Amino acid sequence: MNFKSVLKQARSEGRTLLNEVESKQLLAAAGVSVVRTELATTAEQATQLANDIGYPVVLKIVSADISHKSDAGGVKVGLGSDEEIAAAFIEIVANAKKAVPDAAITGIAVQGMAETGTEVIVGMTRDPQFGPVMMFGLGGVLVEVLKDVSFRVLPLTDRDVNQMVNDIKGRVILDGVRGMQPADKTAICDTIMKIARFVGDHPEIEELDLNPLFVYAQGIIAVDARIVVAAA
Ligand code: ADP
Ligand code: MG
């Protein structure tokens, strides 16, 4: 799957939202660390994929009409067996239909379960005046409540990215508080740089969100991603 074919597919369906599976696979191809994510359209296919990916797995709703998946009961984490997958598959579809009755359901994303790390978010929006702007912040509830984020206009130098990561008030959390290991800032900077390059390579991308990525003492991995492209 490459950017052009995904774009063409989305536009042929009148979509501007690339789903999580498409978004993550494109980001993975751009060198960004993402949790392996595949699309299943039946429970049987989901268990096959789970066995291939390796338990435990996470199942999520894939629908162009549902952008906040957990609000719609569309995310089940820590599934450890074929039986749990089969039950979760049915439950997620039922929850989604209840939350958004007319939602067109593409399928269910089957993905590896990442170990919990420090949650951060990376995003891009287009400013009418400045063009593409990258955003970085702490993830989870913190980012919504504190709006502790930093912005930089593209293109980014290494220095810009470093400043961006150290600009947030919550950087002490990344530096490691109360015996916590410091988060891998090199991996964060590298990820922001790769995403900036990916965005620069594809002017059709209007908006992009990796929310959240888990950062560890060593390494980083995105567990959720969405990309919005310009209409044809
Ligand atoms: P939403 O559309 O609601 O933002 P997410 O895909 O972000 O849905 O999932 C909600 C939460 O579930 C995430 O913030 C993360 O804490 C957890 N989560 C999602 N995917 C994974 C995964 N693959 N491994 C571990 N945790 C995950
Ligand atoms: Mg999310």
Domains and CATH numbers, the chain: 36-113 (3.30.1490.20), 118-229 (3.30.470.20)
pLDDT number for residue 140: 75
Atom of ligand 1 nearest to the CA of 35: 23
CB 206 within 8 A of CB 126: yes
Angle at which helix 3-12 crosses helix 20-29, to 10 degrees, equals 160
Q: How many residues does the chain have?
A: 232
H-assigned helices in the chain: 3-12, 20-29, 43-53, 82-99, 140-146, 158-167, 171-175, 185-201
Q: How confident is the model at residue 41 (pLDDT cuts 50, 70, 90)?
A: very high
Ligand number with the minimum distance to the CA of 74: 1
Query: Which residue has the least CA distance to atom 21 on ligand 1?
Result: 223
Q: Is the pLDDT of residue 10 over 90?
A: yes
Indicate if the pLDDT at residue 143 is higher than 70: no
Nearest CA to ligand 1 atom 7: 224
Phi-psi region of 68 (alpha: psi -120 to 50; beta: other; left: phi over 0): beta
| CA 223 – ligand 1 centroid, Å | 6
Contact residues of ligand 1, CB 6 A cut-off:
35, 58, 60, 68-70, 75, 77, 111-114, 212, 223-224
35, 95, 223, 227: which to mutate for ligand 1, most atoms within 8 A of CB?
Answer: 223
Burial state string for 138-148 with b = 16 or more CB within 10 A and e = fewer than 16? bbeebbeeeeb
Reported pTM:
0.96
Between CA 227 and CA 208 the distance in angstroms is: 4
What pLDDT digit, counting tens, does each position of 153-172 carry? Answer: 999 999 999 999 999 998 99
CA of 113 from ligand 1 middle (Å) equals 9
Residue nearest ligand 1's atom 14 by CA: 212
Mean pLDDT of all residues in 168-197 = 94
Q: Are 214 and 231 in contact (CB under 8 A)?
A: no
Q: How many A from CA of 166 to the centre of ligand 2? A: 23
CA 33 to centroid of ligand 1, rounded, Å: 15
Question: Tell me: the pLDDT tens digits for 79-135?
Answer: 999 999 999 999 999 999 999 999 999 999 999 999 999 999 999 999 999 999 999
* Residue 142 banded pLDDT, cuts 50, 70, 90: low
Q: Which of 70, 142, 228 to mutate to test the pocket of ligand 1 (most atoms within 8 A of CB)?
A: 70
Angle CA(211)–CA(230)–CA(18) in degrees, nearest 5? 45
Rounded to the nearest integer, the mean pLDDT of the chain is 96
Residue 75 alpha carbon to ligand 1 centre in Å = 7
Kindly report the CA angle at 69 between 63 and 72, in degrees rounded to 5? Answer: 95
Atom 10 in ligand 1: residue holding the nearest Cα:
70
Q: Whose CA is nearest to atom 19 of ligand 1?
A: 223
pLDDT of residue 232: 86
